[in-house]
């Protein structure tokens, strides 16, 4: 057991004075006056030792009290000068240190509070990871974007969340940024960075949705091109077709039959090209929706009846599972066009014996088919303007559907699930 300095000092003074008392007693006991004087001196020496001990212990007690206050993170305690030079110097240094610590603590708390408010108010999702790359917290935008509470995700690694977007970011490195497209339409920019926390690196992710900006930019770009093409092509085709029609009427059937037939074929080709350009122009000239209460169950049944002939030709079943009185506030004509486009694509993805099912609920419409699944590299391009996997496809159907649904403010996605069924979901 180790003795403290205090105990050693007291023991030393006690032993020293005890020895001195015994020596005085042995040597001066016969001389009463000198003996009494010596005893008085020893008593005064013992008292002086106690006073010196208290003087020596005062700075130590002061330092001990200061350390306890700092340990308790109490920076409000300050000491009053005692009038003793050495102690007052220590008190002055301590008070100055406490003032600096208090100011630094206030500054750090203000910065931390500001940073928390800034993160919470950020329009982009921010995910903070711990030292083991597990999710520690999300800001408000992140919680609303993933439609989950932070407790659902906290403690999980990105690949363990079950969210495709976060799983895509699991292998990102600090300082890396990436553009990610999910379900063929939603586009996100993700960036991973880090900060120092108690001397160790901690990473965080910033995820910004760019879907609306990219769609608007694409629309402006292809709209300008289509308008220019339509103007030039239609002007040329109109004049050319007029010349062809006039020339055809001037020629007689007996002498110029072959030429008239060639002119007729050229005229038909002109008209087909005109219709082709009109399809493109329809995407640009799409009017704003005029919503009205529409029974989506009835609308789905009408569209499935309309599509039966095309489906029967491929030996594909189109089944309507829409309930009655499922009312949505939509532009009926435009939504009918969306359903026709999507069901047509679903039928064309099926082979003989397969089927398409259409389901309507108060919150969503789902068009499902068990035909050919969508390949991964194709899924990210499906809603690109005028992209098509068909040899003779123009890519108009999904582009037009995208515009109509976007103008209605509906969410939508097209993907093949783990069960092999491909779903086009429309959610309001």
Whether the per-residue pLDDT at 233 is higher than 70: the answer is no
Q: Judge contact between 394 and 279, C-beta under 8 A.
A: yes
Which of 179, 209, 239 is the endpoint of a domain? 209
Distance CA 105, CA 152 (A): 33
224 and 161, same domain (yes or no)? no
Q: How many CA atoms lie within 13 A of 167 on its CB side?
A: 7
CATH assignment of the domain containing 370? 3.30.565.10
Residue 96 lies in a domain: no
CB burial of 83-104 (b: ≥16 within 10 Å; e: otherwise) equals: eeeebeebbeebbeebeeeeee
pLDDT at 371 over 80: yes
Q: Which residues contact 188 (CB under 8 A, 6 or more apart)?
A: 165, 179, 180, 181, 182, 207, 208, 209, 210, 211
Q: Are residues 127 and 152 in the same domain?
A: yes
In a domain, 91, yes or no: no
Tokens of residue 25, six digits: 């007693």
Is 82 contained in some domain?
no
More confident residue, 138 or 16: 138
Using alpha carbons, select from 394, 392, 398 the residue that is nearest to residue 379.
398
d(CA 135, CA 205): 10
pLDDT for 31: 73
Chain centre distance of CA 67 = 44
Considering 235, 266, 284, which residue would you say is the last residue of a domain? 284
Residues 264 and 301 in one domain: no
Q: Model confidence over 81-106: pLDDT tens digits?
A: 766 666 677 777 777 888 888 888 88
Closest among 285, 280, 272 to 237, alpha carbons compared? 272
> What per-residue confidence (pLDDT) applies to 412?
86
How many CB atoms neighbour CB 355 within 10 A?
16
The number of domains in the chain is 4
Which residues face 317 on adjacent strands? 355
> Do residue 146 and residue 173 come from a single domain?
yes
Is 414 found in the same domain as 314?
Answer: yes
Q: How confident is the model at residue 315 (pLDDT cuts 50, 70, 90)?
A: very high
- Mapped onto helix, strand or coil, the DSSP state of residue 193 is strand
Residues 175, 225, single domain; the answer is no
In the chain, what is the straight-line distance between the N-terminal and C-terminal CA atoms, in Å? 77
Q: How confident is the model at residue 356 (pLDDT cuts 50, 70, 90)?
A: very high
**Would 110 be classed as within a structural domain?**
no
Same domain, 310 and 269: no
Q: Is 129 contained in some domain?
A: yes
Listed residues 52, 74, 96: the one ending a domain: 74
Is pTM beyond 0.75? Reply is no
104-113, 182-191, 326-335, 400-409: least confident range: 182-191
Backbone angles phi, psi at 348, to 5 degrees: -70, -20
Q: How much of the chain exceeds pLDDT 70, in percent?
A: 75
Identify whether 28 is part of a domain.
yes
Shared domain check, 171 and 227: no
- Is the residue at 109 inside a domain? no
Cα–Cα distance for residue pair 134/144, rounded to 1 Å: 19
Q: Is 65 among the domain residues?
A: yes
Pairwise CA distance, residues 41 & 389, whole Å:
113
Separation between Cα atoms, residue 158 and residue 163, nearest integer Å: 8
- Give the C-alpha separation, 386 to 221, whole Å: 13
Question: 204 and 217: one domain?
Answer: no
Residue 399 structural domain: 292-427
* Same domain assignment for residues 296 and 419: yes
| In a shared domain, residues 205 and 219 | no
HSE-CB at 254 with a 13 A cutoff on CA atoms is 0
- 236-282 confidence digits (pLDDT tens): 666 677 777 777 777 755 566 667 777 776 777 677 667 666 666 66
Phi, psi of 203 (to 5 degrees): -100, 155
| Pairwise CA distance, residues 120 & 355, whole Å | 47
pLDDT of residue 170: 87
Asked if 307 and 270 count as a contact pair (C-beta separation under 8 A), the reply is: no
Same domain? 138 vs 178: yes
Give the whole-angstrom CA distance, residue 278 versus residue 226.
Answer: 10
Looking up tokens 């087909």 gives 272
């Amino acid at each position: 057991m180790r003795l403290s300095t205090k105990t050693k000092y007291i023991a030393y003074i006690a032993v020293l004075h005890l020895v001195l008392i015994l020596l005085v007693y042995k040597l001066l006991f016969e001389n009463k006056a000198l003996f009494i004087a010596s005893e008085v001196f020893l008593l005064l020496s013992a008292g002086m030792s106690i006073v010196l001990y208290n003087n020596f212990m005062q700075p130590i007690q002061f330092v001990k009290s200061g350390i306890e206050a700092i340990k308790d993170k109490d920076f409000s305690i300050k000491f009053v000068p005692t009038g003793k030079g050495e102690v007052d110097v220590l008190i002055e240094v301590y008070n100055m240190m406490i003032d600096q610590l208090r100011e630094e603590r206030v500054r750090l708390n203000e910065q931390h509070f500001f940073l928390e408010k800034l993160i919470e108010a950020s329009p982009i999702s921010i995910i903070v990871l711990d030292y083991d790359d597990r999710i520690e917290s999300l800001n408000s935008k992140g919680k609303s974007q993933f439609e989950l509470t932070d407790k659902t995700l906290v403690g999980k690694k990105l690949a363990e969340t079950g969210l495709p977007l976060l799983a895509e970011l699991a292998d990102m490195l600090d300082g890396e940024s990436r553009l990610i497209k999910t379900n063929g339409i939603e586009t996100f920019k993700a960036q991973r960075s880090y900060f120092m926390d108690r001397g160790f690196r901690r990473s965080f992710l910033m995820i910004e949705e760019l879907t609306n900006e990219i769609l608007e930019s694409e629309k402006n770009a292809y709209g300008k091109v289509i308008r220019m093409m339509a103007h030039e092509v239609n002007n040329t085709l109109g004049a050319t077709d007029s010349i062809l029609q006039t020339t055809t009427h001037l020629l007689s059937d007996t002498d110029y039959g072959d030429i008239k037939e060639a002119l007729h074929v050229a005229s038909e080709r002109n008209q087909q090209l005109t219709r082709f350009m009109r399809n493109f122009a329809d995407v640009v000239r799409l009017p704003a929706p005029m919503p009205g209460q529409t029974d989506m169950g009835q609308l789905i049944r009408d569209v499935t009846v309309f599509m039966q002939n095309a489906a029967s030709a491929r030996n594909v079943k189109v089944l309507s599972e829409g309930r009655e009185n499922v009312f949505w506030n939509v532009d009926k004509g435009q939504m009918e066009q969306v359903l026709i486009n999507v069901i047509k694509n679903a039928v064309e993805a099926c082979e003989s014996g397969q089927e398409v099912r259409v389901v309507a609920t108060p919150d969503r419409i789902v068009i499902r088919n068990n035909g050919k699944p969508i390949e991964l590299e194709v899924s990210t391009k499906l809603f690109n303007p005028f992209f098509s996997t068909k040899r003779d496809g123009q890519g108009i159907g999904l582009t037009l559907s995208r515009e109509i649904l976007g103008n209605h403010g509906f969410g939508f996605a097209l993907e093949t699930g783990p069960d092999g069924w491909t779903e086009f979901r429309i959610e309001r």
